[in-house]
Amino acid sequence: MNDSGVIQTAVAAIVIFLLLVVFHEFGHFWVAKRVGIFVREFAVGFGPKVFSRKWGETVYSVRALPLGGFVNMAGEGPEDFAFEPGKTVAVKLDADGRVEALGDPRSIRHADLVGRLRTGPSREDYALRIETGDEVRRYPLGPAAVLYADNAAMSLAPYDRQFLGKPVWARAATIFAGPLMNFVLAAVIFAVYFTVAGVPSGPDVAKVLPGSPALRAGLQPGDHIAAVDGEPVGSWDQLVKAVQSRADQRVVLDVVRGGQRFQVAVSPEIRGGVGVIGVSPALVHNPIASVWLGVKQTWDISVQIVAAFGRMISGTLAPEVAGPVGIVAMIGEQTKQGLMNLLTLTALLSINLGIINLLPIPALDGSRLMFLLVEAVRGRPVDPQKESMVHLVGFALLMVIVVLVTYKDVTRLF
């Protein structure tokens, strides 16, 4: 691959990865806002901030490494780490005597008081109790209170605005929205694809491939296929499904040509595990039909992927997994084939990302949904510290798997 090809592949890979992850995170972000969770930051990329601006209560930022993004929601994990009893804190108060800023005495300039923290904010009481001298006083946290810790500022949120403070249904909706947006993205991409390329007008043949079973059977462009083995077909999709289910069998087609109806026999070939006869449809440009077909294509492919996962688990299908290197290689190949092929690959990757994130694997959205299901059944949440440990261990194992798959991708390439 020449230099221009490498650059083209790199740009395409970055754009696709950004698109997939940002859409996923936007799903979390949008629903979190709808259910009232305090969102501190919506970031595109990782690493140091290149640009940031605060709209409302949320900081929107672009970061230096364009390889994804994240949403920082208040209370995704326990936030009491910053309120250790006995810690010395400096506090700055607003005009109403509420805490405006707190943190290490070295981080708060012109503090109104310095004392020992006795208790942090609780679910019922959004206030601090601080010991100064011989007395302990209660200081409510203001609506825009900021905690300064480890050279960083973090906006605090009352418990009812934190992720952990929301009911199970609101947290589940927020988590599920990420994978859901990957399916939405795929449907949109397919809709664009079909809007440009066209959608089948019906079971009408536009092209017969050379050397195909259809050519040997005498099918011609312009033929209308009315039935398969006596079963009427009213759309190209029905025709495809009827032929695919009859792989390597003799099939009788009812064909209409020039106002005359007759029958031809054809034996579909097996390609990719399904039957094909080697014909392509007549296409029309219909935006409304394209949207519906985009949704249907997303659903059909999702079902096929889930079925393939099931066969891999049962051992009837050999596992075939690609890591980041393998995906970039695929993107490079499809970039050579043109934009439409690249769009199709992007939609497929988005569907895969959505499905994988819904699997009950620690550190993924599916695992978090499983913990919420347990909470809903037992009536109380799992200890957040224990859940965090499960996700941490799961993330470590995922990283090991990614390294192994990447090694396999590299050895396959070279």
Residue 162: name the closest of 148, 153, 174 by CA: 174
The verdict on whether 25 is a catalytic residue reads: yes
Residue 67: name the closest of 46, 50, 51, 52 by CA: 46
* Cβ contact 190:293 at 8 Å: yes
State how far Cα 115 lies from the chain centre.
46
* Cβ contact 208:278 at 8 Å: yes
- Residue 180's H or E segment, with its range, is helix 168-197
* Cβ contact 276:242 at 8 Å: no
* Cβ contact 92:102 at 8 Å: yes
**DSSP one-letter string for 299-329:** HHHHHHHHHHHHHHHHTSS------HHHHHH
Bridge partners (DSSP) listed for residue 117: 130
Helix axes 168-197, 339-358, angle to 10 degrees: 160
The CB density around residue 45, as the number of other CB atoms within 10 Å, is 22
What are the two backbone dihedrals, phi and then psi, of residue 31, each rounded to the nearest 5 degrees? -70, -35
DSSP 381: P
What are the two backbone dihedrals, phi and then psi, of residue 239, each rounded to the nearest 5 degrees? -60, -45
- Within 8 A by CB and 6+ apart from 199, the residues are 283, 284, 285, 286, 289, 290, 293
* Cβ contact 85:130 at 8 Å: no
Of 25, 41, 76, 79, which residue is the catalytic one?
A: 25
Q: Catalytic amino acids? A: 25
